[in-house]
Amino acid sequence: MLPFERIFVFLLILSLSDALPTSSRMLPTRTALLPTTSPAYLPSFPASRNTTSQPTGPLLRKSLNLGHYPPLWAAPNTQHPEVQRAIRSIDWTHVPSFLPRPPQGDASYDDGHDPACWWSRTECTRPKQAYLPEDIAYCENPHDFGLTYDDGPLNPRDANDTWGEPQLYDFLATYNQQATLFYVGSNVVSFPQAAQRAIQAGHTLCVHTWSHPQMTTISNEMIVAELYWTLRAIKEATGVTSRCWRPPFGDVDDRVRAIAHQMGLRTILWNSDSFDWKLPSVANDYQGTFDDLTVDRFFQAWIDRLPPRHGRLVLEHETSDKTIQMSEKWLPRLKNAFEVKKVHDCVPLLSSPYWES
């Protein structure tokens, strides 16, 4: 079984079950390795203008200076001077020496012992390295529902595309609803106005890498580069420095966690997958294998079965008309059944999402 076939199987089981973690988490950082200020290797940028209500309406799309960034959706150059400064900031004696994993999977990995706390194989969220904090994977209160969207901000594909931002953000504003948004750096630099709109509307912006790789398959230096350029893009677009991230596909182990930790980033996963990413759409070249009715069943199951111990922290996406339509269909019903919140609001002991006040 290929690694992401394995991921799909246990995500399917997890989304339809109430088999949630029972151990208490240790939210405070366990050592001084975590930065206490915004990383010095990041440039300074002005903050976005604050607003008193959620803004809506059309957005003018104009990219940041792309010459200051790597090619869009491509692996960044680890020799870039800015990346090298970030690499030098890492205490590599506190990064486990696990090798990058082959993209096709690692048949030799010991799932039972799980020495690397490799989520893609074992769903492990409590690192084996004592200095690393536990991943965030659920809301504390069973009645809370953590609303998150990956892979944004959704760029319009052409002038006639009405599903790019601000479609989702305007919809959320009609319900006075905020969410946690995990941004791909390549999308941010292409459409910084969407990121500005999101933060002005009160959404939380977190890192989702520059080019969306399987993080356990790339080198230490590439991990730094993927995180660095997304941190920089969000900061240039909005003026804030994120302290939260989500690994693409959930693919994380203690090597990846340790690097992200030293870059000031707390790992946030999920315990309930909407599988909206399996709807056929332009985002997956229409290769998705789930129809609307199948995905509807996941949403309905969440409403029908309240978790007994902890609340749901859900994976949704802003990647296509299909994922946005699914969110528009179900958010009103979810709000009737749960207290729908941003992640930092449903995990009260979690540190502020930004270094800036």
Residue spans per domain, the chain: 69-96+132-357
Is residue 118 exposed (0-12), middle (13-18) or buried (19+ Cβ within 10 Å)? buried
Instruction: Note the residue count of the chain.
Output: 357
Residue 86 C-alpha from the chain's centroid: 21
| Dihedral sign, Cα of residue 219, residue 220, residue 224, residue 225 | negative
As a whole number of angstroms, the distance between CA 320 and CA 283 comes to: 6
Q: What is the mean pLDDT of residues 137-157?
A: 98
pLDDT digits (tens, 9 = 90+) for 206-221: 999 999 999 999 999 9
Q: Which tops the pLDDT comparison, 37 or 148?
A: 148
Q: What is the pLDDT of residue 185?
A: 99
Q: What is the pLDDT of residue 212?
A: 99
Highest CATH level, class, for 69-96+132-357: alpha beta
Query: How many C-beta neighbours within 10 Å does residue 81 have?
Result: 7
Task: Enumerate the active-site residues.
Answer: 150, 317
pLDDT digits (tens, 9 = 90+) for 3-51: 444 444 445 545 544 433 333 343 444 445 777 889 999 999 998 776 7
Q: Which tops the pLDDT comparison, 155 or 3?
A: 155
pLDDT digits (tens, 9 = 90+) for 322-334: 999 999 999 999 9
As a whole number of angstroms, the distance between CA 50 and CA 94 comes to: 38
Please state the pTM of the whole predicted model. Answer: 0.91
DSSP letter string over 160-187? Answer: T--SSTTHHHHHHHHTT---EEEE-HHH
| Dihedral sign, Cα of residue 71, residue 75, residue 79, residue 84 | positive
CA dist 125 to 101, 133, 180, 225, Å?
18, 9, 19, 24
- Confidence check: pLDDT of 62 > 60: yes
